[in-house]
């Protein structure tokens, strides 16, 4: 199966339906009632493309959400109240997926480690799969990629580099290397970031994750 086919399988599982049918497809999915990769429940999730949007909500709220309006902006305004969190803010970020596996990008000083390894910093220790970290000559952490395993066909990547090592291309090499590992495991790598995060956007572009006008949608998890 090619990467695009894996993405379709991932989104169909993660959201409950894919591709969108028309401008806005509201789907009730049990995935919105079950813990996600980090053990938290995400009651709203969605992906918007230039062709249409799939918005996933708990099954018992699907009809009420459909009745809220016919376009995404109207439904988004009603969602916090319908979910029972009127103070929550509906948000969106850039959604990218790996279109091309770049064999020429890798970090010779990077190793895969279990997230509970003592060399892994706290921000990486929360991920539910092995993490890829850059170690210096003394074995100290300098940069890393974590993987959020959402389902059999989709793994979301997150990357960060220590300030003193930024500007050396470590992040793009690590992301490209991690994307190849994801593909070897039969899945496709996705990459999400805020619209204002230009540094993250540059990393994604350089690592084979173009911006195709897709958005990820959702509400923040209740604390």
Residue with tokens 């109240």: 81
Confidence at residue 223, expressed as pLDDT on a 0 to 100 scale: 62
Residue with tokens 């958005």: 215
Tens-level pLDDT at each residue, the chain (223 residues) = 699 999 999 999 999 999 999 999 999 999 999 999 999 999 999 999 999 999 999 999 999 999 999 999 999 999 999 999 999 999 999 999 999 999 999 999 999 999 999 999 999 999 999 999 999 888 899 999 999 999 999 999 999 999 999 999 999 999 999 999 999 999 999 999 999 999 999 999 999 999 999 999 999 876 6
Take residue 121 and report the two structure tokens written for it.
């910093």
Confidence at residue 136, expressed as pLDDT on a 0 to 100 scale: 86
Q: What is the pTM of this model?
A: 0.95
- Alpha carbons 92 and 194: distance in angstroms, whole number: 8
Give domain limits for the chain.
3-96, 110-209
> Which one-letter DSSP state was computed for residue 213?
S
Residue with tokens 């793994």: 155
CATH code linked to domain 110-209: 3.40.630.30
Count other C-beta atoms under 10 Å from residue 118's C-beta: 6
- Alpha carbons 69 and 217: distance in angstroms, whole number: 17
Confidence at residue 122, expressed as pLDDT on a 0 to 100 scale: 96
């Amino acid at each position: 199966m090619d990467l695009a086919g894996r993405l379709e399988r991932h989104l169909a599982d993660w959201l409950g339906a894919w591709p969108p049918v028309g401008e806005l497809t509201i789907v009730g999915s049990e995935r919105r009632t079950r813990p996600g990769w980090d053990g938290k429940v995400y009651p709203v999730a969605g992906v918007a493309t230039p062709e249409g949007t799939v918005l996933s909500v708990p099954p018992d709220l699907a009809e009420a959400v459909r009745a809220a309006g016919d376009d995404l902006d109207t439904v988004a305004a009603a969602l916090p109240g319908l979910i029972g969190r009127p103070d929550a803010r509906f948000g969106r970020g850039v959604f990218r997926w790996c279109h091309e596996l770049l064999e020429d990008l890798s970090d010779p000083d990077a190793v895969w480690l279990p997230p509970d390894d003592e060399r892994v910093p706290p921000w990486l220790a929360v991920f539910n799969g092995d993490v890829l970290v850059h170690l210096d000559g003394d074995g100290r952490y300098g940069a890393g990629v974590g993987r959020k395993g959402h389902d059999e066909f989709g793994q979301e990547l997150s990357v960060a580099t220590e300030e003193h090592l930024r500007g050396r291309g470590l992040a793009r090499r690590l992301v490209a290397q991690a994307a190849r590992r994801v593909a070897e495991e039969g899945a496709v790598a996705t990459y999400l970031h805020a619209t204002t995060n230009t540094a993250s956007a540059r990393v994604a572009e350089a690592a084979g994750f173009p911006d195709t006008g897709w958005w990820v949608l959702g509400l923040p998890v209740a604390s």
